[in-house]
Chain A
Amino acid sequence: SQTIHQWPATLVQPVGSPLSLECTVEGTSNPNLYWYRQAAGRGLQLLFYSVGIGQISSEVPQNLSASRPQDRQFILSSKKLLLSDSGFYLCAWRGQGPDNQPQHFGDGTRLSIL
């Protein structure tokens, strides 16, 4: 069966520090991969998605970047964190093919910027 792992689960970082959040998927190949951010009391905002290695689509201009160095690995990064980067970050995957397939989510990373 397929599983998705995100780490770390929680992270406290100072303003201006770098960031790297990692997401890996097991049990499937060539998945679509997604990064979302959920600010306190707000809905989900799609940040990036990827349909293949090295293919990244950015949904909103921001202080973050994403990379997909391997088929089942998706990394969210920042060179200098801002206070506004605080939030709950969720990674998700979906199988290739028609859009009637649901996305499957990891357990998220709670990021607090001090």
Chain B
Amino acid sequence: AQSVTQLGSHVSVSEGALVLLRCNYSSSVPPYLFWYVQYPNQGLQLLLKYTTGATLVKGINGFEAEFKKSETSFHLTKPSAHMSDAAEYFCAVSLIQGAQKLVFGQGTRLTINP
């Protein structure tokens, strides 16, 4: 069965510091991986996705993530945090064949300190 684990339900960083949000997955087949961001009282917005090819994926708002098969990880990073990055972040995984649905992690709330 697939599962997604986001380490740390809350992460706090200073403005300008590195942002690192962790995501590990378990899947019996190579997955498709996604990161979403959710601002208060809004829906989820796609940040980036990994399907095949280059394992370092760049997304919107300066975020990127690296797929590491050997570590079954897909951690999200941003070199320099901005106040506007404060939000909830969700990692999600999809089977390659026919599942038609995503499995979401529990989310990580990112707080930016001035």
Contact = CB atoms under 8 A, between A and B. Distances in A.
Interface of A: 6, 32, 34, 42-44, 46, 49, 51, 88, 90, 92, 94, 98-100, 102-108, 110
Interface residues of B, number: 26
Interface in B74-114: 90, 94-102, 104-107
Contacts of A105: 36, 43-45
19 contacts: A42-B106, A43-B90, A43-B104, A43-B107, A44-B90, A44-B104, A44-B107, A46-B102, A99-B97, A99-B98, A100-B52, A100-B96, A102-B34, A102-B49, A103-B102, A105-B45, A108-B41, A108-B42, A110-B41
Nearest to B106: A43
Contact residues of A: prevailing secondary structure: strand
B43 A90 contact: yes
A105 B92 CA distance: 14
A95 to B, nearest CB: 11
Contacts of A42: 106
